[in-house]
Structure 1
């Protein structure tokens, strides 16, 4: 669940635009769920096996916006009465309104999230907290039309991610160059934006795509915090020891097959067996805007001290 803060004035302005001068009409679904019809275009009704896309905005009792389709995209739904009935009050409303209808309803947090969206409540939310939901039925599709819409959304998402990655590339480059300057590190770089320092040259072969490599590593944030390692002593020194990883050993993976982050696939391929190196990996070659686990935040630049132990 994403938590986007908006002020009350924005919510009120949306209501004013939707309602105009008319008083909202109080209605009930066939399942007895009450809601207010804010506006209607007298559009088509949904029937069994239709697909619909819905604009959704959810606001808590403090006027904080919890979910907004302007941020996360439209909610797609297949109109299947039996399955939607199991998802509770909100979906009972959505399957019965018509294209162009805008509604408002107030439901419990458990009804909306636990039952409706089948996801746990956030730590700061109680099951009985009141959630105000604003929804508009935007489009109606048959199966072929919905598949075309999905393809269009996927393409838009790819283009958005590419633009964000390109913008992040410049940000990460500045961060890395500042890190290198502050730590007096002279590093080489690749066309992709990976920076690396070979600290000890090995005399073995370089791995070829598809071969299984064995790598010892220590993963760190730019502030020096160690978040992962294949070396037992390092794990113990940094309160990362986990007996389930016994016996600690080099990480094995097929290189060039996307089994590890891109910065690893590229960086390890630069090394001969026996080489040691430091890889400074920009976020778009690591875990990107999602981050990973509790230590690696969104768009985090990572540092790995690695040793290519062997190749199979």
Structure 2
């Protein structure tokens, strides 16, 4: 399950590269969230899945942080010119932040795990070193990416502490519904989103990216993430994100022909070693 999660989660930057040229970031995310509801609501009604009535508020807050805050921050940063390598490095700080905050949710981080976290961030740095370009980088894009980092970190900790156990089908509907409510005003104001969706170019590449985002990322990967949060310590789960930039770089090399240097290969091995230090019991 962790390996499958890493592979699917790593396609996020690939999807952004396919989809963002044809739609503004918040509009794309809203279409993605609405698509999730169109898939899950009939399933929930058909299967009569239980609703977590006593946890709705906590689940909604965690969803806004994990979905709206994280994705909007990173996608808007990329749209403003943030290189994928830099954004991956910034978001790659999440396991470190989660480890520092672990005592707040009753978890402890062992010295071996701290060593693994440091190995992981070094590995991520080596992978994206060749792709990092700070020329022309705006403070807005940096701020948005840091917002995404803080949002997914807080969301992971909040969900682990307040609502780790709930029915994934109905809980996901609650989270994406709350995210739509939060993002919709921003999309209308900043991206001039209207009922005709005239800011969207419905090309085959865009439709493919949207469908993959709905089915694989927002349903498949999120279900796996929530299952991992439910079963494992937050530090162990977030350390898997160290494997995302190396895996994404490998995918970009295979799909787009982007350079994947020897330094990147060494970084991938270092990141894998770091994750092994963290998750090994």
Q: Normalising to structure 2: TM-score of the pair?
A: 0.22
| Structure possessing the higher radius of gyration over alpha carbons | 1
Decide which structure has greater strand share.
1
Normalising by the residue count of structure 1, what TM-score does the alignment of the two structures yield? 0.21
Choose between structure 1 and 2 for higher RCO, CA contacts under 8 A separated by at least 6 residues.
2
Is the helix fraction higher in 1 or 2?
2
